[in-house]
Amino acid sequence: MTSSTLPLYVETSGRDPGAAVDTFLLIHGYGASSFTWRHWAPALARRGHVVLIDLKGHGAAPKPDDDRYGPADQAELVHRLVEERGLGRLTLVGHSLGGGVVLLTALRLLEAARAAHREPLLKRVVMVAGAAYRQRVPPFVPLARHPRLFMSLMRMIGATLVVRYVLRTIVYDPDAIVAEQVAGYAAPLESPEAVRALIACARRIVPENLDELTGRYAELDVPTLLLWGRHDPVVPLAVGERLSRELPRARLRVLEACGHLPAEERPAESLALLEAFLDGGLAAL
């Protein structure tokens, strides 16, 4: 359902939230939706309260024409959702761009806890091939920064063919892409409003104060699982390796024969690592 006060689309499952219940809040990447988490969400729902978010402009979320689509804008909305719903015992999970949103949301949550002299709502972080530092952006992002060209391409070729091409370029084995994946990612991109939102997001995808933000990652003193594909062409493994050095309590696990979509390319293996982390913390990895 669409959040009543925020331009987000939210679906929940599992147990009702409560003081003794873990909440798992999952955030997808650029151009994606909560469809990303279809292999993980049922298992997490057996453990606690699951909150799947379609970020502003993505999936089924509203797509206002206000140009406020940067990672910091999205993190502000996620933080407001946490506060409005009174969510606690949070495990933030983010993929790709959603990983960057998770880092910024985590900083906001820790800041709010310090200002209110209370225990942090944040319990854990899971980064899945998450954006974090200045890097080369994949080709489909610069293309979206040329509105007329991108809109013409989407109109002439169609979302299905574009999505199939992009998915095949970001995974380890392009022949493993199936029609269900293509349809799941393409369906929300059929409208002109969705294409406009993609363009707005691409224009703001690198925060202007990124270097300042990266200097603050050491403040995130919570257990953090870093999951990466060995052959990720979008957010390279070097990003995960750097995060493992700069985050105080992080552990990097690398999936072989895997590209940018660990939760989809290696669903059983990636979920097993996630559940080991949830059961035993960093010591279990």
What pLDDT score does 4 carry?
A: 64
Q: In what order do the strands lie in the sheet with 23-27?
A: 9-14, 49-54, 23-27, 90-95, 122-128, 224-229, 250-255
pTM as predicted:
0.95
Report, as ranges of residue numbers, the positions in the chain whose pLDDT lies below 50: none
What pLDDT score does 3 carry?
A: 59
Measured between alpha carbons, how far is 70 from 91 in angstroms, rounded to an integer?
Answer: 22
What pLDDT score does 149 carry?
A: 81
- pLDDT, one tens digit per residue, over 165-175 is 999 999 999 99
Residue with tokens 């799947």: 52
What pLDDT score does 2 carry?
A: 59
Which token pair is 238?
């070097």
Residue with tokens 């199939």: 164
Q: Which CATH class, in words, describes the domain spanning 9-136+207-284?
A: alpha beta
The residues near 233 (Cβ < 8 Å, ≥ 6 apart) are 138, 169, 170, 259, 260
- pLDDT, one tens digit per residue, over 209-250 is 999 999 999 999 999 999 999 999 999 999 999 999 999 999
What pLDDT score does 152 carry?
A: 83
